[in-house]
């Protein structure tokens, strides 16, 4: 992925983050967020994804409702955003990036992955519009 496109995407992530309420920022202080071009082969296999651009985000960790004392010493939670997946949803029929749609997809992906952190299922997130 070209550096200019990465920079543009990252600027849009910052724009979206700047519009979230303080509570979301507090959550992201606890659950760090990383932006990568594509998911790793391990994540793709785990998620049953064949094309790298089919995955927009990933939550790595143990959801809050499933945690107990035996989980001490495990790796901390993290949220991953994948540029290729989000950009594929934000392009129009001519392959041009729709900036409003890009911002929307970034927002939805962040909230979707934070939902997983709180133990929400795909079905629950879909019902809320965070598909």
**84-113 pLDDT per residue, tens:** 999 999 999 898 999 999 999 999 999 999
- Measured distance CA(104)–CA(93) in Å, rounded: 17
- Measured distance CA(26)–CA(36) in Å, rounded: 22
| Residue 45 counted as domain residue | yes
- DSSP assignment of 72-109 equals TTSPPPEEEEEHHHHHHHHB-TTS-B-HHHHHHHHHHH
Residue with tokens 């962040």: 110
| Residue 70 counted as domain residue | no
Split into its structural domains, the chain has a count of 1
What domain range includes position 48? 3-65+75-127
Grade residue 72 by pLDDT with cuts at 50, 70 and 90. low
| Residue 38 counted as domain residue | yes
Torsion of Cα atoms, 41 then 2 then 93 then 43, to 10°: 10
Grade residue 50 by pLDDT with cuts at 50, 70 and 90. very high
Instruction: Name which residue leads in pLDDT, 68 or 56.
Output: 56
| Residue 91 counted as domain residue | yes
| Stretch 18-32: mean pLDDT | 89
Q: In what order do the strands lie in the sheet with 78-82?
A: 33-36, 78-82, 57-60
Specify the pLDDT at position 90: 96
Q: Is 100 helix (H, G, I), strand (E, B) or coil?
A: helix
| Residue 33 counted as domain residue | yes
Residue with tokens 């499933």: 66
């Amino acid at each position: 992925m070209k550096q200019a496109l990465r920079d543009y995407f990252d600027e849009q992530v910052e724009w979206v983050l700047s519009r979230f309420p303080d509570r979301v920022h507090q959550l992201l202080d606890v659950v760090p967020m990383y932006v990568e071009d594509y998911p790793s082969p391990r994540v793709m296999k785990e998620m049953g994804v064949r094309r790298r651009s089919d995955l927009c985000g990933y939550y790595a960790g143990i959801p809050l409702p499933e945690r107990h004392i035996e989980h001490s010493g495990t790796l901390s939670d993290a949220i991953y955003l994948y540029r290729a997946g989000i950009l594929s949803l934000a392009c129009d029929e001519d392959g041009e990036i729709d900036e409003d749609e890009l911002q929307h997809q970034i927002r939805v992906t962040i909230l979707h992955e934070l939902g997983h952190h709180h133990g929400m299922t795909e079905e629950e997130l879909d019902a809320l519009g965070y598909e």
